[in-house]
A and B are shown apart, each in its own frame.
Chain A
């Protein structure tokens, strides 16, 4: 049973629930209190001890159901089924495995002689023996170590190996010559066995492999250039950006009241301790004043960066939740303020509305900056960080660098995040190098990782 619990912990990790050794010890202690007999109770116990959030509880509950889904093996079920049921628990090592070393002296009487154990088992259609053999093979192949979907083939062949496929092939060859009908039966049975093995491996992957496969996918995605995502990746990327936003929010949303002890505030100390004859029991310290964050974000949503601007907008949306004072603007040919849209609506709806208002045009940085200068320049103060998100491709129109210069003179910082690689800057209609002198920071920001780091830096500067 202890074995089984350990395997369950591994499965739980696969389901994305972080189970640390200490937690598994707690769970063990708890389980030893309540016992194994009552499944429902066991489930509650594991949920209470292992899961730390409601989401984890759900994941864990699913995992539990999958892991312990073991109806009583039916005797009249067909071989593959019975095999599955016993095997997916992967936990009946009590019976000797019919694996690596197929016993030669098996049932020589019933089936044709000189056949290997596996062949005899299959021909005799002995379901329980097959099931036991499968479970044994799963153990031998350490099926619970499966992590990635790419390992499916490897584990399938390992299991077939453990079942004694080598010997079976020889038998099959010999039978084909001697007894074609029998050979056909055996081949069919072998196909059935293959199916069971495939299914077992698939299930094991479901149980043990989820987290790592997900991590891998995320890692790939984080480094994937946002400009060149495939359709199906876009959804995943949005999910990832949302996760990043969530993390940023967790980290920064509630400005920690860090006690910043500066110098001793003599005056306040004396006043506070007047009651004790000015013996300084209570000290007062000067607090350093922190700036309230003010961010102005200008986001290019023109056709050339449409896909990336989706992600930018998502991230700005999350900025709205982290920082109180954000004003955001979107532009392609001209510029509008989108703070309200982003603040009031769900991300998806907000993005749709913004895109329908100003999206997909051909970009005109000059005109957009002019719009900004005319109406909102006053909102930029010496406390403001201005973030420009865009590729700086202005279709050979006047870039109006003078306006960026004005903005830069008024603002505390100007940060430019460019989704294009450095190689492309300054080529064609890219005005990046003409804008760069007026920016305090120019960053390439073409994948999720860079985006996260950039935004995190910006927000952290205010903490």
Chain B
């Protein structure tokens, strides 16, 4: 893992992500590659648990960069996302430096003179000393660059989105008292969204758009293989086959990749080498998160297990 090595090709991206345990489809690799090449953030959409946040983590650990995460929520504002003034510190300093101020101003004969002298020191109190950087500003200030993850942007308010625009297009922020701060090294920016709210066109325009859906069967098997090495091949095949059938049902929340991985871990813990009816019934609550969903799925389990068993053997 060499940090900051330019991404050579899409294959290199796939291999690099795989080296830290993230099995990427070609669309994902393409998006990551392009994001670096044409310096644009990636907006990642898709259902919960398909590996949107994981992608950012994997990217950071592959590139050996720090990951800065900005979790969005309703009511998130500038002070929590960008920077905050340390008023108390400013105040404290003013108190302590009162005497010094007296010295400086002491020599002044007239009010205008004193004002002039004060002006020379004015900027001291609005300097970076008194700025508390929050994730977004921190990301820009990283000397080695970083991976900036703006997680669940759809949970934030529209105002916050507008706040992001400057960072996303120019990798800079403007702090009224200090001026514009540009990134030393442009960070790799990922935004994730579960589609709870439609994002503005302005935001979408500035990003590459990547949709991660449920992976294809083969890919999902490889993901399980990489994340849960303990699961044997037959079990993997059967599990993924079973989950794909579950996904065809009309459920409140479909099981996604993270559930698949959890389930694989559970099955390995239970030392199951194959799916059988009883084990599935007992562990269904790992996959499905609503009582109603479990009730819908239960009658189908036997059939699904049988079918995925056949596929696991012959397919």
Contact = CB atoms under 8 A, between A and B. Distances in A.
Contact of B211 (A22, A26, A54): A54
Interface in A22-79: 22-23, 26, 29-30, 33-34, 40-41, 44-45, 47-49, 51-54, 57
Contacts of A282: 87
Interface stretch (A8-16, A197-205, A250-258, A296-304): A250-258
A279 interface: yes
Interface stretch (B33-41, B138-146, B173-181, B263-271): B33-41
B31 interface: yes
Interface stretch (B196-204, B215-223, B242-250, B277-285): B196-204
Nearest to A47: B27
A237 B10 CA distance: 46
Nearest to B95: A277
B188 to A, nearest CB: 15
A48 B91 CA distance: 50
A29 B38 contact: yes
A22 B87 contact: no
Nearest to A253: B197
A250 B198 contact: yes
A48 B204 contact: no
A45 B40 CA distance: 13
B75 interface: yes
B151 interface: no
A205 to B, nearest CB: 28
A27 B287 CA distance: 39
A26 B205 CA distance: 10
Interface centre among A44, A48, A282, by most chain B C-beta atoms within 10 angstroms, is: A48
A317 B26 CA distance: 41
Interface in A310-338: none
Interface residues of B, number: 27
A9 to B, nearest CB: 15
A52 B157 contact: no
A52 B209 contact: yes
Given A48-B30, A48-B31, A57 B38 contact: no
Contacts of A53: 204, 209
A125 interface: no
A417 B34 CA distance: 52
Contact of B157 (A34, A257, A281): A257
Contacts of B34: 30, 33-34, 45, 48-49
A51 B205 CA distance: 9
A30 B209 contact: no
Q: Which of A20, A49, A256 has the most CB of B within 10 A?
A: A49
Contacts of A51: 209
A26 to B, nearest CB: 6
B211 A57 contact: yes
B152 interface: no
Contacts of B74: 257
A254 B154 CA distance: 11
A49 B35 CA distance: 10
A48 B32 CA distance: 10
Contact of A54 (B37, B45, B198): B45
A53 B201 CA distance: 10
B88 A276 contact: yes
A48 B209 contact: yes
B165 interface: no
Interface in B85-105: 87-88, 91
Contact of B38 (A26, A40, A279): A26
A254 B75 CA distance: 13
Contacts of B208: 48-49
B303 to A, nearest CB: 27
A374 B158 CA distance: 44
Contacts of B158: 256
Given A48-B210, A256-B158, A257-B157, A281 B87 contact: yes
A282 B79 CA distance: 13
Interface in B30-56: 30-31, 33-34, 37-38, 40, 45
Given A49-B34, A52-B204, A276-B88, A41 B198 contact: no
Interface string A192-230: 000000000000000000000000000000000000000
A305 B33 CA distance: 57
A45 B34 CA distance: 8
A49 B204 CA distance: 10
B91 A52 contact: no
A22 B310 CA distance: 51
Contacts of A29: 37-38
Contact of A45 (B30, B157, B201): B30
Contact of A257 (B37, B75, B205, B211): B75
Nearest to B46: A54
Contacts of B157: 256-257
Contact of A26 (B40, B45, B75, B91): B40
Contacts of A44: 26-27, 30-31
A174 to B, nearest CB: 59
Nearest to A254: B197
Nearest to A53: B209
Contact of A33 (B37, B201, B204): B37
Contacts of B198: 250
Interface of A: 20, 22-23, 26, 29-30, 33-34, 40-41, 44-45, 47-49, 51-54, 57, 250, 253-254, 256-257, 275-276, 279, 281-282
18 contacts: A22-B205, A26-B40, A30-B34, A33-B33, A33-B34, A34-B30, A45-B30, A48-B30, A48-B210, A49-B34, A49-B209, A52-B205, A53-B209, A54-B211, A253-B197, A257-B75, A275-B88, A276-B87
Given A20-B205, A41-B10, 7 more contacts: A30-B34, A48-B210, A52-B209, A53-B204, A53-B209, A256-B158, A279-B91
Which 5 pairs between the two chains have the least Cβ-Cβ distance? A44-B30, A52-B204, A33-B37, A281-B87, A29-B38
